[in-house]
Amino acid sequence: MSKIFVIHENATWVEPLRAAFDELELSYEEWFLSEGLLDLSAIPPEGVFYNRVSASSHTRGHRYAPEYTAGVLAWLESHDRHVINDSRALRLEVSKIAQYAALKRHGIRTPRTLAAVGTQNIVEAAGKMDGPFITKHNRAGKGLGVHLFHSVDALRQHVDSAAFEPSIDGITLIQEYIQAPEPFITRVEFVGGRFLYAVRVDTSQGFELCPADACRIGDLACPVGGETAPAAPRFDIIKGFDHPVIERYQRFMAENGIGIAGIEFITDARGEIYTYDVNTNTNYNSDAESRAGLSGMRAIATFLGEESRQLEESRRTFSVAA
């Protein structure tokens, strides 16, 4: 069987995947790309490569993991290696602007968003919003830079204060605040381009507070704010979730080199849904999964095992034909 390679920069998030590989007796190798040395003249090994490098790498001291991974993926792709979540996916992972532009091409509604570089432009962007708005980082994960504002003045004060934290790529997003009548967001999980399940994440702990546990585990539903971490939010897998957006997400993923992802949306009072985050590095809530008797990491391991088996088969057929 061809080997499975897992490209990542956070070992903690890979632990449940290792367990799933072991259970299924699949052999794999980890490429931890926080730092590295790439010989451009080398030939990459044969195998299936699963990229799960996260936009929030810099918060773990791995400042250049996404840049280095982009280089490694370019090298792998130049040798026609089979990559799950390829360089197009990584480009989306590290830019919400790129995410929203790609989502819109597939008829998927996103919140009204302005991107600004420079304090002056952030304030000017806020002046163009009709109602309450939030700030967030273009390159984020973990709810970086997410704050809710009700006035331009409040935003101005914030950006002039020491509390203001610029995005690692210098781009701040000003985005319409979607008021959900019920305090939850929905995250839709896909493995191998197939719908796995949707999970409802309770946001009633307050928009400004970061449920630290979820930050650690899920990279999700995690607006920053207070010093004290409240209890982690409750995650519940929705039974029989079905929505026309699933098919749109699938087309969006297929066209952007994404095989495995969790996509988040909020529902407003009229029942309209707004998609606002694509996580090509996705993690799963173990409590919710054990209540539902499902396992995302097992689904990933199974999928990668199947991909590597197919790759091996096609290589064998090729060498027999040759």
Residues of this chain that bind ligand ADP (CB under 6 A): 111, 134, 136, 140-144, 146, 175-178, 185, 203, 220-223, 264, 266, 276-277
Q: Which residue, 86, 87, 115, 83, is CA-closest to 101?
A: 115
> Using an 8 Å Cβ cutoff, are 145 and 224 in contact?
yes
Smallest gap from Cβ 187 to ligand ADP, in A, equals 8
> Using an 8 Å Cβ cutoff, are 100 and 113 in contact?
yes
Task: Report the alpha-carbon distance of residue 110 to residue 107 in Å, rounded.
Answer: 9
Give residues 191-250 in contact with Mg ion (rule: CB under 5 A).
220
The entry of ligand ADP, Mg ion, none near residue 185 (CB within 5 to 8 angstroms by kind) is ligand ADP
Smallest gap from Cβ 250 to ligand ADP, in A, equals 20
Q: Does 93 bind Mg ion (CB under 5 A)?
A: no
Nearer to ligand ADP among residue 135 and residue 302 (C-beta): 135
Q: Which residue, 292, 190, 305, 166, is CA-closest to 240?
A: 292
Nearer to ligand ADP among residue 178 and residue 261 (C-beta): 178
The entry of Mg ion, ligand ADP, none near residue 203 (CB within 5 to 8 angstroms by kind) is ligand ADP
The entry of Mg ion, ligand ADP, none near residue 58 (CB within 5 to 8 angstroms by kind) is none
Q: Which residue, 177, 196, 183, is CA-closest to 238?
A: 196
Q: Kindly tell me which residue out of 93, 189, 277, 307 binds Mg ion, with binding defined by CB under 5 A.
A: 277
Nearer to ligand ADP among residue 264 and residue 289 (C-beta): 264
The entry of Mg ion, ligand ADP, none near residue 189 (CB within 5 to 8 angstroms by kind) is none
165 CA to centre of own chain: 21
- Identify which range of 22-30, 77-85, 177-185, 276-284 contacts Mg ion by CB under 5 A: 276-284
Smallest gap from Cβ 175 to ligand ADP, in A, equals 5
> Using an 8 Å Cβ cutoff, are 254 and 193 in contact?
yes
Tokens standing for 107?
């008829």
Beta-carbon contacts of residue 294 (< 8 Å; ≥ 6 apart): 196, 197, 237
Q: Does 189 bind Mg ion (CB under 5 A)?
A: no
Q: Which residue, 151, 109, 148, 145, is CA-closest to 129?
A: 151
Q: Which stretches of the chain bind Mg ion, using CB under 5 A? A: 220, 277
